[in-house]
Structure 1
Amino acid sequence: MMKNNKFWAMLLNRTPAILLLAVVAIFGSISGRFFEPQNFLNILVQSSALAIAATGMTVVLLTAGVDLSVGSLMFVAVALAGKMIANDQPVWLSFAVAFMVGLAGGALNALLITRFRIVAFIATLATLFIGRGFGLWLTNTRAMNMPDAVTALGASRCCGIPTPIVVMLLVTVTIHWFLVRTPWGRQVYAVGNDPDAAQKAGLRVQPILFAAYVICGACAAISGLIALTQTGAVSPSFGQQKEFAAIAAAVLGGTSLFGGRGNVLPGTLFGAILFQTIENGLVIINADPYLYPMVLSAVIFLAVFLDTSRQHLVANLSRRTLQSVA
């Protein structure tokens, strides 16, 4: 029985890779266009914004928290950048201000959670609505088209690699390194596993949580800017429901909703690519657009189901190990 549990635990840990291969095989069998090299490159480019947002979400989920304001924070940061660009401000300055907005939004969430002791779900739900409303006020609920200088950034290359992919790799590799190679990263996992035990062990839990939400806010802003360079416009629905896509990508990649378990590489990156591959495949096979939200909702449900299954298996393995020792 214990061997069976270990087998299923190992299988669940490899779920992102297995699902990705299955999805590629299914869409490839329906349409030969799916296997074109350019399409695979498009998937990676399109995955970049989601992967960055999901990376920030991973850090928060590891602390057993959640950030529902990611999509709204993307919207506010990009709306402000778009407003500045429309007023003839330099693109680099507008992007820098957008990044600062992301940091400030993350800090606001962190303050509500760590200082005022508001539950993360409620605090970030509130900032979700505040951010969405502020973004709509900035844009006057109208789309803002960006100049060619912005879209040129999205189409540019660095050392022959599309810039969005380069930025995605820089963000994911950097945060992954901090999580697995630094004392702060180990503390994040410790807080997610058991905050009370972490506090008793002498860890300063509140600053760790504060940093996690600030990182998530910064990633949301970067994600929004990457998406802006690809779409070339800020619409009133910009970033809408991206927080759920980010959560799904992180959980599909093996990050637990219960905290303390998961990784950015390869986990979250694989999850983001899987999520985007499904969306790309639906477009390639000319699926009914009304099916998109249904399919993506099913993916989110699958992510939660797999995480719950992993949690039960880990609990069973731990219990059986203790029983065998006793």
Structure 2
Amino acid sequence: MNSSAKKIGLPPVADFFMQHGVKIAVLIFIIVMGFTESSFLSVSNLSSILSASGTTYLCATAISMVMFTNCLDLSIGGNVYLCAAIGTWLNRQGWNTASLIVAMLLVGTFCGLLNGLISASLKVYPMLNTIATGYVFRGLAFIFTRGALAHMPKSWNNISLVSIAGVPITVFLPIIVVFLLHIFMMNTRTGRHIYAVGDNVKTARERGINVFGIKTLAYTINGLLCGLAAILLSSQVMSVPSSMGVGLENTSMLAAVLGGVSFAGGKGKLFPGVFFGALLYATVSNAMVLLQANAYLYNVIYGCVILAVIVLEVVRSQGRKQLA
């Protein structure tokens, strides 16, 4: 009885649309924009989209790393802001550019490690403790910036001006870093363990996988990527406003789920999956600016997309359980 049920499965077309329906809808939106808005497909606008997608890709990858382990990080925005805030404070103390880069990467990594140790130790859903640490990170950042707009040194802008064959560092560096991380995830034992923990933590323990260490590692990599994102973002805008990073965890999550990362853990690819999701997000954001859409409408659309992905994922998983 069970074997015949398994053979039935979901209709291929229905399963395809359940898995890719949201991405198809976004692509249709982009195609329509290309025909209705002449400036949308211009070289300068496409370059702007690519540049914006770089930082989004880093942050989407950061949240994907912990989502792979069936965890979540809602402190990403606070982490990025704290890294940048400490960078401005150290600049006032006379630190040079190289020292600032190292310091910001270390701050981000430490914040990720802290989240990992707490999440792996406490028997609470990680979303709760990362909300708390997010407030802590943002509060500390306010102390370093004194709650005012902080500025980076003029030499800091040189980072965003670096390019290879005309491609800016804000585009190629995130792609290179995340592609190497993708290879690590797909071709190393540790990478497979990260997926295994997210797929079924009980089975992972029975197989002898160090669940505590794997979760801590995922959060630590998450923090390192936040530090790198803070460097690139602050070099682009040359300042650290108090609003930096606000809502970043939501947009990162949206790009990740658009790229096929599962809220249930154990599924998704950093490349090309999450890259495609980050590019889709950056494209839609750019289109809404061109359309001069109400800024408050952004959150409505982003929330609806995430909700749609969650609903489709639940429907697919329930359908498979009934057929099993």
TM-score (norm 2): 0.92
8 Å Cα contact 2:65/2:222 also seen in 1: yes
User: CA offsets, 1:268-315, max 9 Å, x none?
Assistant: 11111111111111222333xxx2342343223312322331342244
**2-structure distance, mates of 1:51, 1:293:** 23
CA apart distance, 1:79: 0.5
Residues 33/217 of structure 1: CA separation in 2 closer, same or farther (3 Å cut) = same
- 1:313 is aligned to 316
8 Å Cα contact 2:75/2:131 also seen in 1: yes
**1-structure distance, mates of 2:103, 2:25:** 38
CA apart distance, 1:56: 1.2
Residues 16/98 of structure 1: CA separation in 2 closer, same or farther (3 Å cut) = farther
- 1:2-21 equivalences under 5 Å are 2=8, 4-15=10-21, 18-21=24-27
**2-structure distance, mates of 1:135, 1:97:** 14
For structure 1, the 5+ residue unaligned runs are none
**2-structure distance, mates of 1:117, 1:306:** 27
Q: 2:225 aligns with which of 219, 227, 250?
A: 219
Residues 273/292 of structure 1: CA separation in 2 closer, same or farther (3 Å cut) = farther
**Paired amino acid for 1:300:** G
Pairs aligned (count): 318
CA apart distance, 1:155: 2.5
* RMSD (Å) for aligned C-alpha atoms: 1.9
**2-structure distance, mates of 1:100, 1:110:** 15
Shift >6 Å, 4+ stretches: none
**2-structure distance, mates of 1:12, 1:88:** 54
**1-structure distance, mates of 2:310, 2:13:** 16
- 1:274-289 equivalences under 5 Å are 274-287=280-293
8 Å Cα contact 2:23/2:258 also seen in 1: no
- 1:77 is aligned to 83
CA apart distance, 1:86: 3.0
For structure 2, the 5+ residue unaligned runs are none
**2-structure distance, mates of 1:68, 1:49:** 17
Q: Secondary structure of the residue that 2:209 maps to in structure 1?
A: coil
- 1:205 is aligned to 211
Q: Secondary structure of the residue that 1:282 maps to in structure 2?
A: helix
TM-score (norm 1): 0.91
- 1:40 is aligned to 46
8 Å Cα contact 2:22/2:309 also seen in 1: no
Residues 41/15 of structure 1: CA separation in 2 closer, same or farther (3 Å cut) = farther
CA apart distance, 1:4: 4.9
Larger displacement relative to structure 2 (196-205 or 64-73): 196-205
**Paired amino acid for 2:239:** A
Residues 185/5 of structure 1: CA separation in 2 closer, same or farther (3 Å cut) = farther
8 Å Cα contact 2:150/2:240 also seen in 1: yes
